Chain A
Amino acid sequence: MRQRYGSLILDTTIRLLVPFYLIYGVYALVHGHYSPGGGFQAGVVLGASIIMVNMVQGDSVTWGVSKQTAVLVASIGTFIYAGIGIAAMIWGGNYLDYGVLPFRGIEPEVRALGTLGIETGVTLGVAGTFIVIFNLLIGREE
């Protein structure tokens, strides 16, 4: 949104809530093995919080996430996902076979670490893609 939409009430509530949204996004990412959550949900929460700040406070406050930056973040997420998969192929396993990655520890730990890396890539990709979709929907050109 080019000009800000928010009233005083909306502005104050956003200021109170957005830090908790960001923390909850990271929580959903790193706690996704044990409880509902995971990479996609964490990415949706992170992207939606940035979109919400943008909608309420206007174009002057976008936290530096321009159109190019959003595309870059989405590409980095996809690159992390595919890179971990191909790294497993380089170390002699199948695609996305985390067990063969050269980390210290027993195999379930290595697999958990690989899953966390994959989920981080998914989070970045989804957050960036959501911001790109939002920018396209409101017709922002830069």
Chain B
Amino acid sequence: MANIIAGFLVTAGIFFLIVGAIGLVRLPDFYTRLHAAGLCDTLGLLLTLAGLMVYQGLNLTSLKILIIAMFILLANPTATHTLFRAAYRAGLKPRGEG
């Protein structure tokens, strides 16, 4: 049962990662590309790590994976925000605004 849940979670995570990769290639602009990469990568990595935790059971390794997941949950959106902010302050206009 735990293996089935783990496989489902990892598959969902990989689905979101693939969606993020497709968005990174297909979208037209820096900001929209960063939007796709930031959001989908965070959710995909969190789901993948949750699947690994379910697969691993309740021990020290799953605790370490939980710490990694908390770190990604905090750091990945912040890094995306920082990239957005740096590009905007450097004067990069969004597509369609000149």
Contacts and interface: CB of A to CB of B under 8 A. Distances in A.
B3 interface: no
A7 B74 CA distance: 15
Contacts of B74: 13, 16-17
Contacts of A136: none
B81 A9 contact: yes
A112 interface: no
Interface residues on A, range: under 10
A112 to B, nearest CB: 22
Contacts of B85: 7, 10
Interface residues of B, number: 7
Main secondary structure of the interface of A (DSSP, over half): helix
A135 B82 CA distance: 21
Nearest to B85: A7
Interface in B71-98: 71, 74-75, 78, 81-82, 85
B24 to A, nearest CB: 23
Contacts of A9: 78, 81
Interface in A1-54: 7, 9-10, 13, 16-17, 20
B14 to A, nearest CB: 25
Nearest to B67: A20
B75 A10 contact: no
Nearest to B81: A9
Contact of B81 (A10, A16, A17, A20): A10
Interface string A58-101: 00000000000000000000000000000000000000000000
Q: 9 shortest A-B CB distances, which residue pairs?
A: A13-B78, A9-B81, A13-B74, A10-B82, A10-B78, A7-B85, A17-B74, A9-B78, A16-B74
